[in-house]
Amino acid sequence: MRAYGVTVLRLCVASVFLAHGLQKLLGLWGGPGLEGTAAMIRGLGFPYPMPLAVVLTLTEVGGGILLVLGWLTPWAALALAVDMGIAIWRVHSPHGFFLAGGNRGQGIEFVLVLLGALVCLALSGSGALSVDHWRSQHQEARARGRARMRKV
């Protein structure tokens, strides 16, 4: 059942990143859209806000899709972990630890949980019901078949 526990974690984390990425890309669910994301990045003092907004958005949408599929999971999780590390550093750390809400801003609490989940996925893999799992089983079966052929 352990493989299914990782699957549940992967799908939950994927849904968060896919939803936030679509907010940044298309402005869905009250999100800022690409222009608003670029303005936010500009406000954080980063140079080249529009290219960075595109990279951020593609990382969250693409990483979310890859996590849903369970395909290239360690790499997708690593890219998203870098995203969360930057979010902790530049966006959330000035507001402390807790999700205070209101005018004070949100602390690092939620982002830290996402970062921990991403590191977990990068280290443990995608679990069951994933392209990565299917590919590894397929490769193992092919290797067993080659080993049987050598014995003959």
Contacts of range 110-119, beta carbons closer than 8 Å, 24 or more positions apart: 111/84, 111/87, 112/88, 114/13, 114/16, 114/80, 114/84, 115/81, 115/84, 115/85, 115/88, 117/9, 117/12, 117/13, 118/13, 118/77, 118/78, 118/80, 118/81, 118/84, 119/77, 119/81
pLDDT for res 142:
73
Q: How confident is the model at residue 86 (pLDDT cuts 50, 70, 90)?
A: very high
Query: What's the whole-number average pLDDT of the chain?
Result: 92
